[in-house]
Every structure is written in structure tokens, then in C-alpha cells.
Structure 1
Amino acid sequence: MSCVTRRERKSDLTKDIAMLRLFTALFISLFLGFPALAVTPLDHAHAHNDYWHERPLFDALDHGFMSIEADIMLRDGRLLVGHTASELSDERTLQALYLDPLQALIRDQGGKVYPGQDQPLILLVDLKQDGPDTYRALEKLLPAYADMLTSYRDGVVTPGAVTLVLTGSSAWQVLRMEKERYAFTDASYVELNLNMPPEAMVMLSQKWTQITHWKGEGPLNENEDRFIRKIIAKGHERGAKVRFYATPDEPGPGRDAVWTYLLDAGVDLINTDDLDGLSDFFAARAASAEK
């Protein structure tokens, strides 16, 4: 006859659960590639089309990027990540590549993406088509991630570890009437004149080549310079972070000159596909400032 008591069985079960949680945490840390604690967050770094990297999300986090972009399309009720239909695959969902690993990381690190960093990470989600339908599918998923997402309820914004920002397919129009949501939006300069709820817009994204074709070689046209600075000022008046996309991204002095100009002009996010290149640029800039 067994002499094991109910209390002993309960104790063994508690130990088993604790060991399972420990194993899960170790698995996540070792195999999902969470960033090392020594990573220094780069407040002005935006990973454009992040899913093209070998390790979506994690390569950007390992470099300290504070803004990460993913394109999504709705297919058979699922949100798949990709720039075009030919890139889509069933296993590359928004949840699998971004939402689930971010939630696990944040829980593992005491509610933060980067230890000691209070500024929310931006997850910029580009609705590549069918904006309203795609957003409705996304909207159904987001409450499961409420513990990490910045939220809006009845006029009050509550910061989270991650702020999810929509772009593309007139994203802001699907948010304008909602009293409770876990998503925000960006806008272009021309969209600032539309009837956009001020609390919905958190980013101004403007295509660089619609303003100028300057690639960092020679002087920037004075009129273009004034217009760029006007865009930045207007975005900041709305409390939005400002980002120019389609900026020069080929390594070299021209790209560095454009990045330097943008930062000096007050831009909040530098857009790049080159994670190493932008990280090295910021390191060199910091070293130069210390001299």
C-alpha cells in the first residue's frame, strides 16, 4: 500500500510545474534568441521590412532597435507576414513571428522589451491590402496581448511595453470611431489635414523621394531643407514620431550624410534595412560626441 499523502502528491506536482516553467524559460532564452541583457536600446533606429532578416524580430532586438516593421496580408482568416503574395507562407504569421515571442520576452524580462528601458517598442504593421478587413482580423487577436500593448480607452492612453502602429490602406480610418483599441496609426504629411483623431496618430511617415532626391552628395536644396524641417515640426506639434522612408540605404558617406542631417534636423526614427550599418553609425556618432 502506498504511503504517499495528498500533501506530498501536491508538493510533487508543484515541483513538476516549477521545473516545467524553468525548462520553458530556458528553451525560450536559448532557442528563440532573446537579446542579451547588455544590448543598448537605439531610440532612433527603425528596422524596415524586418521579416526579410534571417531571424525576424530577434536580429533587430539584438541590435537594440526600438522600432520594427512588418507587412501583413489576410489569407483565409490568418494574418501572414510578407511584402507580396509570393512571400507568404502558413507558418509565418504575425503571431508566430512577432506577437508571441514579444509577449514571452516581455514576461521573461519583468514587463520590458529591454531591461531598464521605459520607452515602448514600436511594432509598425503595414496593412498591404484590404485595410478594414485586415484590421478586423487583427483586432480579434490583440486582446490576448493586452498585457504588453499600449491601449486606448475612452480618451485615455495607457502605455505598454509595445505600441502597435498601423500603416497602409488608410489605416487611420478604421480606428477613428473606436472607443477602445490596442492599435494606433501613422500618417503622411498630406494626411495631417484630414479629420484624424489626435490620440490615434503616433507617427508621421513620409516618403523621402516625394520631397527630395538628395543622396547626401553636395548641398541639399534650401527649399527642400525648409520643407523637410516643416514636416518634422508639424509631426512634433501632433505629438508624433517622425520617420522618412525610402531614404538612401546603400553603405557609404552619402547615406551617413543623410542620416546625420535627419538626426540633426530632429527626426525621431532612421529607416533602414541594414541593421549592422545603422548600429555602427550610431556607435561612431556616440564616440565622436564623447571626444
Structure 2
Amino acid sequence: MRKILRGWLLLAALCFCTTAAAQRPMLIHSHNDYNQRAPFWQAYAQQVYSIEADVFLHKGQLLVGHDTEDLSPDMTFESLYVEPLVTLFKRNGGRAWKGSDEHLQLMIELKSKTEPALKAVAAVLDRYPGVFDPAVNPHAVRIAVTGRVPAPADFAKYPAYIRFDGEWDVDYTPAQLERVALVSADFGRFSQWNGKGSIIASELEKLEAVIDRAHALGKPVRFWGAPEGVTVYYTFYNMGVDYINTDHLEVCAGFFSDFGNKNFQIGERRTAAGGVTGTKRLDKTTRDFRGFQNDKLQLSKGVGIYTPTYKNDGKEGKIKNVIYLIGDGMGLTQVVAAAYANKGLTMLQMKYIGLQQNNALDAFTTDSAAGGSALATG
């Protein structure tokens, strides 16, 4: 159910198109973006969906930083985020990315008193309606305010293009819900999971309650303060979380950029159909294998496994023939991956299995022909 809800959310609420970044199964949020080596530009280069800036109204200036002691007069909200976006929209014909209808979200975390800080932010953004107001430009940057969010009853006091970070356990009126961009929650409030192994059942139940409630409101969900890593990415995807909060942009974006190739499952309908590129690299024999679905890089059903009888073990007699098959791409990683996908392999049913290590003289990975020759000659 969470998968279906999330699919509709991404299609209807976020208007995704068929660009490479849009095929990512989760929205990537550049958390504390101003701490990156190149604020804004680093996240923009990875074509993430959402970029976050913590903003203080300090001595009449909108400054970006996590704490007041971090503030610097040259780290202004305008110079770091507004001006680059205005320049890009001019260059890209009124879009975040040239030739793409994909949206970009700028999440502004208010660190100062709500009303004066938000009015100052609005005063800056109001100068560029073609960049920040979807009523003027349907490709405009989406603005989402988090942190010191105004009370829902006060949402209407601010320009319509400004939307807000919602809470999962608040009962919003229909008008207030229209102003909610997403639902965010503190991960640590529900779970102590460190990203290793599995989330314990009782904590998982609490997290799923948040996800279900957000989706029932028709909003995507984000957990902040959550761990990171491959296990987290897969777990959150399976749970139906819509946003990945990341401090490691390149790693996270790289992981999800070819997510379709990371989900080889036989006969499973949830296997990603989009973003699969592996079949283009397969040889003709593999592509024509019976039951292989070229468009999804998967088998419709598993390959049958033969279990030997071992009835000739220990007997003496003349060996008539020895058939020696040399397979390409038969490293331990590939064999284990195939065994997991197919739920077993005939070759692993043998009583005796040997391993041979072969290293090239001038390369880290040996060539197929050299490896085959080493196997054939013993």
C-alpha cells in the first residue's frame, strides 16, 4: 500500500518527468547544504530534488549557518542560494535544468523568530516571481519552510508560493493542508537504529505509523536525524519513505542513479522497471536466454537446480570423458549474487568445490582470456 501511495505522490504532487534524476526512486534532500564544500552548486550538480539552507535574520541580514557563532557576513541567503538560482533560470529558459520539467525545492529552515525572518525571506523572493512563484512560472523553484514554522492558522498570512514543513500528528484543515509541502519527523523520536542490521519490530511499527499518516494526508515523508548508508537506503525505500536526508551527496546520488540495476529479483513485480541499463551490455546468448525479460533485467522464474545423486562417489573405474566448462564473469561476487537471485545454483550442489586465484601482471583485474587460459592449463 505504501508503494502505491508513494507512486501517486511522486506523480501527482511532485510532477516528475523522465529525466535521469527523475527516475530515482527517492527524493534526495541535501541536508545542511551550506556545510558542503561548494554550497548549492555541489547539490545542483548531483541534480537532487531538495536543497536546505538554515537562515537567521541577524542584524537586518539573512545569513546562512547552523548556529549564530557560525554566521559570517559573506554567507548571505541571497548570495549562496537566491542569486545562483536567478542566474540559472535566465540561462535555462525559466527552468531549474535546461530542457527538463523537473522541479527543484529550496527548503529554508528558519532559525530566528518566525514572523520577522519569514517576512524578510519573502521580501527577497518576491523580487523574482519568475523563479520562485509557480503561479507565474510552472517550472519555478518550490519553496518549503521548516524549522520555526508558523502556526497552521497563520499560513495564509504569507505568499501562496511559500509552503511549509508539516507534522504527521496535526489535524490540518483542507486549506492549511494545501500549504503543506511535505511531512518531516525526527527519526530519533521513534527509533534508535544506527543503520546496521534491521530495525527492531516495535520501532519499525512506530515509523510506519508516521509514514502511513503522512501518505494518508497525501504528502511525502522525510525523516531527519536518521542514519545513512546502503542498508538505510534500501530499508527506507522498502518502508515507503519518500525523502532521503543526506550529508553525503555524491554517494547518495550515485547509489540511486542506477537503482534499477541494483534490484534483480526473479518474478517480483516491485522490481524497478525504470533506470535499468544492464541489458544493453549483455551478450546475445544471455539476452536470448529463455525466460529472460530484457526490459527489466530479470528472469520471469528461477532456473531449475539439479542435485547430483553422488552414486558413483568412491568407486574405481575408468573415466571416459571429462567435460570442462569455463564460464566468463564467474568471480565469487557474481556466483553468490546469482545464487541469491535464483535461490540456489546447480554448481553449488557439488560435493567438492575449488577456488583458483589469478592475477594479471599489469592490472588489478585480470582479463577474461588470461583467466580462462589459467583455468584451462591448470
Give the drift of 1:236: 2.2
Show the counterpart of 1:228: 207
Show the counterpart of 2:261: 287
Show the counterpart of 2:171: 193
Higher strand share: 1
Show the counterpart of 2:372: none
Q: 1:130 to 1:173 in 2, by over 3 A?
A: farther
Q: Is the 8 A contact 2:131 2:137 kept in 1?
A: no
Q: Is the 8 A contact 1:202 1:239 kept in 2?
A: no
Percent identity, please.
29
Q: Deviations over 1:271-290 (max 9, x none)?
A: 01001220232145332243
**Secondary structure of residue in 2 paired with 1:114:** coil
Residues 1:90 and 2:73 are matched in the alignment: yes
5+ residue gaps, structure 1, are 1-37, 250-254
Q: 1:232 to 1:159 in 2, by over 3 A?
A: farther
- Inter-partner Cα distance in structure 2 for 1:237 and 1:158: 29
More displaced 10-residue stretch of structure 1: 108-117 or 172-181: 172-181
- Inter-partner Cα distance in structure 2 for 1:172 and 1:148: 26
Q: Deviations over 1:10-34 (max 9, x none)?
A: xxxxxxxxxxxxxxxxxxxxxxxxx
5+ residue gaps, structure 2, are 1-18, 264-275, 277-296, 298-378
Give the drift of 1:158: 7.4
Show the counterpart of 2:98: 115
Q: 1:39 to 1:79 in 2, by over 3 A?
A: farther
Give the drift of 1:181: 3.0
- Inter-partner Cα distance in structure 2 for 1:85 and 1:261: 35
Show the counterpart of 1:272: 246
Q: Is the 8 A contact 2:33 2:53 kept in 1?
A: yes
CA-based RMSD of the aligned residues comes to 2.4
Q: 1:61 to 1:172 in 2, by over 3 A?
A: farther
Show the counterpart of 2:51: 68
Aligned positions of 1:172-251 closer than 5 A: 172-173=151-152, 175-178=154-157, 180-190=159-169, 192-193=170-171, 197-249=176-228
Give the drift of 1:237: 2.6
Residues 1:261 and 2:196 are matched in the alignment: no
Number of residue pairs aligned between Structure 1 and Structure 2: 244
Residues 1:81 and 2:64 are matched in the alignment: yes
Higher helix share: 1
**Secondary structure of residue in 2 paired with 1:181:** coil
Q: Is the 8 A contact 1:48 1:273 kept in 2?
A: yes
Q: Deviations over 1:211-249 (max 9, x none)?
A: 111123333222322332222222223232211111113
- Inter-partner Cα distance in structure 1 for 2:163 and 2:194: 31
